[in-house]
């Protein structure tokens, strides 16, 4: 079934659980359509703050080693966006936000996603299914996948959605090359990060991207398969793309002897996740030219909205 989020800090655990939820009201209004597939070249030099040469602050809520129910993270994002809009009105939006976490197994659809890409009956879904307000088609989130939810005021970066997609892709491309010597790329006409025989024939998608932007505040974000069990992807047509598959960093390290990543396939999953997380945060701060500030996470953060 398609479900609606319910908030509970107590439901954040270190192992997968499933809880029943109510059906999502599909008639909820959406502000803007935010699925972009047109590709433009990303230039690192463009990723600069416009705040008089100073890096913009970005509060980082680091839960990369915690499984967070999708409903909790989704509602948390929306509460932050609501607060940020209020701050924009009084010219006090001084800090962006970044949430890093993992999810319990879940399928999510974009606002215009087709249920034709689900290879199961919604009444007997293997995991909870959420229809969200992001762009894009269906995808899977689960343990071993690092999810980054940047909540950015694009007025202080670039007011250009194509630039934003390319910047998110750039973060992952840099991580894969600098940390694992994996040469990843974009694929023309598609969004995400791919590996394969060439930039044109990239046949495995390692990172999926889906966003929403409201009043130039962006949220949702990217998901990178690190040690993810890819089996649940077989129950869907990931991102609505029939002729390409999905991959993971762990799988690539196992299959190929990569010069810089040699031996990494022997690592424990937790070690591989920690290494990837450290690189993701570093490259994110460099691409978006922000100064990350670690934020404590309290129950209040999850009870808002």
Residues annotated as part of the active site: 239
- 3-state SS record for 109-175: ECCCCCHHHECCCHHHCCCCEEECCCCCCCEEECCCEEEEEEEEEHHHCCCCHHHHHHHHHHHHHHH
Check if the beta carbon of residue 165 is closer than 8 Å to that of residue 158. no
- C-alpha dihedral over 76, 210, 273, 188, to 10 degrees? -170
- The pair of structure tokens assigned to 5 is 């989020």
Report the C-alpha gap between 154 and 209 in whole angstroms: 17
C-alpha count within 13 angstroms, C-beta hemisphere, residue 148: 27
- 3-state SS record for 181-226: CCCCECCCCCCCEEEECCCCCEEEEEEEEEEEEECCEEEEEEEEEC
Nearest to 167 by CA among 181, 139, 186, 183: 186
Give the 3-state secondary structure percentages of the chain, helix then strand then coil, rounded to 5.
30, 25, 40
Q: Max alpha carbon distance in the chain (Å)?
A: 54
Non-local CB neighbours of 124 within 8 Å, separated by 6+ positions = none
């Amino acid at each position: 079934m398609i479900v609606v989020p319910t908030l509970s800090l107590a439901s954040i655990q270190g192992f997968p659980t499933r809880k029943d939820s109510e059906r999502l009201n599909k008639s909820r209004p959406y502000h803007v359509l935010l699925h972009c597939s047109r590709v433009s070249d990303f230039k690192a030099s463009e990723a600069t703050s416009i705040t008089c040469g100073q890096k913009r602050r970005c509060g980082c809520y680091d839960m990369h080693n915690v499984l967070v129910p999708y409903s909790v993270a989704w509602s948390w994002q929306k509460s932050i966006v609501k607060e940020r809009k209020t701050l924009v009105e009084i010219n006090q939006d001084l800090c962006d936000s970044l949430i890093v976490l993992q999810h319990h197994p879940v399928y999510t659809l974009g606002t215009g996603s087709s249920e034709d890409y689900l290879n199961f009956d919604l009444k007997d879904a293997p995991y909870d299914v959420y229809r969200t307000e992001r762009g894009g088609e269906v995808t899977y989130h689960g343990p071993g996948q690092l999810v980054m939810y940047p909540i950015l005021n694009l007025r202080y970066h670039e007011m250009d959605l194509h630039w934003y997609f390319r910047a998110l892709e750039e973060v992952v491309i840099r991580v894969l090359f600098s940390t694992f010597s994996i040469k990843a790329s974009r694929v023309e006409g598609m969004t995400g990060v791919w590996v394969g025989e060439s930039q044109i024939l990239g046949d495995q998608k390692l990172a999926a991207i889906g966003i929403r932007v409201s009043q130039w505040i962006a949220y949702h974000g990217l998901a990178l398969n690190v040690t993810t069990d890819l089996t649940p992807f077989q129950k869907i047509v990931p991102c609505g793309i029939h002729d390409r598959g999905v991959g993971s960093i762990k799988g690539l390290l196992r299959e190929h002897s990569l010069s810089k990543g040699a031996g990494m396939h022997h690592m424990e999953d937790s070690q591989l996740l920690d290494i990837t997380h450290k690189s993701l945060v570093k490259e994110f701060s460099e691409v978006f030219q922000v100064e990350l500030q670690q934020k404590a996470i309290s129950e209040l953060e999850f009870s808002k909205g």
